[in-house]
């Protein structure tokens, strides 16, 4: 058996088309959503992702601005940039690209954001709403990567309700919020949130109908850990050494051998990363729509 490869590109394109219609409708009301990004330092991976976010925004006719601070920027500089975004009337939503260089308190910086402009869904208020919101429509932005994984599954016809999902990784941006999202009413998955201290990771993951790997450890999930036919979402993205073409190879958390066992597999690149970007734009468009009500 060889896994069906899930195309992040195709699914993101489908969502972009829907968002484009919503942006056009907003334009008819004289509302023009605008995205902003804050990046501190010049980590090449961050530069590549932030560039991608601006390209996507442009494609949808969403204006965007970027503030890039040098790696030596002080906490006061970062705070000032966030406060400027908060008070700018024309900015609908923004992201603080993570990780911030060492020395900055990420949690404190995320907390400075206006939660209504949080395009990543990572402000403690919005995470709190996710904890509280077991059912019904959430009026707050969802964390972009977890939302992207759920959309990718749903739009690929991968059933989640009643299924056993193993989320490997307990990080703030993916694992922890994904566990909450997957167990909401309407999604209805049963979740095991595994991590580096999980005793028998092989047996734990092998029970799962759906596996989400979000550890940043290349090749951590191997074929022997995957139940035949399971759907495997690879959220890991690690840059390998720069190759002869001058580009770094991107590697996921999932070993290529998994393709021989899994029923579905999201690739790296071309998988969840593209979903993250589009769900961030979803949060911006939704915030702009909210401002019209």
Q: Which residues are annotated as a binding site?
A: 169-171, 237
4 is catalytic: no
**Interatomic CA distance for residues 175 and 183, integer angstroms:** 13
* H/E element, 239: strand 238-242
Question: Of 97, 117, 151, 234, which residue is the catalytic one?
Answer: 97
Continuous segment of H or E residues that includes residue 50: helix 44-59
Under 8 Å between Cβ of 123 and 96: no
Count of Cβ atoms closer than 10 Å to residue 229 Cβ: 12
CA angle 35, 38, 41 (to 5 degrees): 150
Q: What minimum distance in Å lies between the beta carbon of 173 and ligand GUE?
A: 6
Q: Is 221 exposed, middle or buried (0-12, 13-18, 19+ CB in 10 A)?
A: buried
Residue numbers belonging to the annotated binding site for NADP(+): 169-171, 237
Which of 16, 34, 53, 163 is the catalytic position? Answer: 53
Q: How far apart are CA 167 and CA 205, in angstroms?
A: 8
Query: Which one from 120, 209, 234, 253 is the annotated catalytic residue?
Result: 120
Residue whose CB is less far from ligand GUE, 91 or 237? 237
Taking the least distance from each CB to ligand GUE, the nearer of 93 and 209 is 93
Closest-by-Cβ residue to ligand GUE is: 273
Sites of contact with ligand GUE (CB under 6 A): 48-49, 52, 95-98, 120, 144, 237, 250, 268-271, 273-274, 276-277
- Closer to ligand GUE at the Cβ: 158 or 274? 274
Give the nearest distance from C-beta 71 to ligand GUE in angstroms.
15
CB of 78 to ligand GUE, least distance (A): 13
Please indicate whether residue 77 is annotated as part of the active site. Answer: no
Query: In the annotation, is 97 catalytic?
Result: yes
Give which of 35, 104, 119 is closest to 73, Cα–Cα: 104
Closest of 135, 286, 98, 170 to residue 178, by C-alpha: 170
In angstroms, what is the minimal distance from the CB of 157 to ligand GUE? 22
Residue among 98 and 112 whose Cβ is closer to ligand GUE: 98
Kindly state the tokens that stand for 189. Answer: 């998955």
Q: Which residues are catalytic?
A: 53, 97, 120
């Amino acid at each position: 058996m060889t896994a069906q490869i899930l195309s992040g590109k195709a699914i993101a394109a489908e969502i972009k088309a829907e968002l484009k219609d919503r942006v056009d409708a907003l334009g008819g009301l004289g509302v023009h959503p605008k995205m902003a990004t804050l990046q501190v330092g010049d980590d090449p991976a961050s530069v590549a992702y932030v560039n991608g976010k601006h390209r996507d925004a442009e494609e949808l006719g969403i204006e965007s601005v970027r503030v890039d601070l040098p790696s030596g920027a002080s906490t006061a500089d970062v705070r000032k940039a966030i406060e400027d975004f908060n008070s700018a009337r024309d900015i609908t939503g923004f992201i603080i690209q993570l990780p911030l260089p060492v020395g900055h308190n990420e949690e404190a910086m995320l907390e400075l954001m206006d939660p209504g402009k949080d395009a990543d869904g990572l402000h403690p208020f919005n995470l709190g709403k996710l904890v509280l919101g077991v059912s019904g429509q959430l009026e707050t932005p969802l964390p972009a990567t977890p939302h992207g994984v759920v959309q990718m599954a749903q739009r690929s016809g991968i059933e989640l309700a009643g299924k056993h999902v193993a989320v490997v990784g307990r990080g703030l941006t993916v694992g922890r919020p994904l566990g909450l999202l997957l167990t909401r009413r309407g999604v209805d998955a049963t979740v095991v949130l595994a991590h580096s201290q999980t005793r028998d990771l092989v047996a734990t993951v092998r029970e799962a109908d759906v596996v989400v790997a979000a550890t940043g450890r290349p090749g951590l999930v191997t074929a022997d850990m995957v139940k035949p036919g399971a759907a495997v979402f690879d959220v890991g993205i690690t840059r390998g050494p720069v190759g002869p073409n001058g580009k770094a190879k991107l590697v996921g958390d999932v070993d290529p051998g998994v393709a021989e066992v899994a029923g579905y597999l999201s690739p790296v690149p071309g998988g969840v990363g593209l979903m993250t970007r589009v769900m961030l734009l979803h949060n911006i468009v939704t915030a702009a729509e909210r401002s019209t009500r």
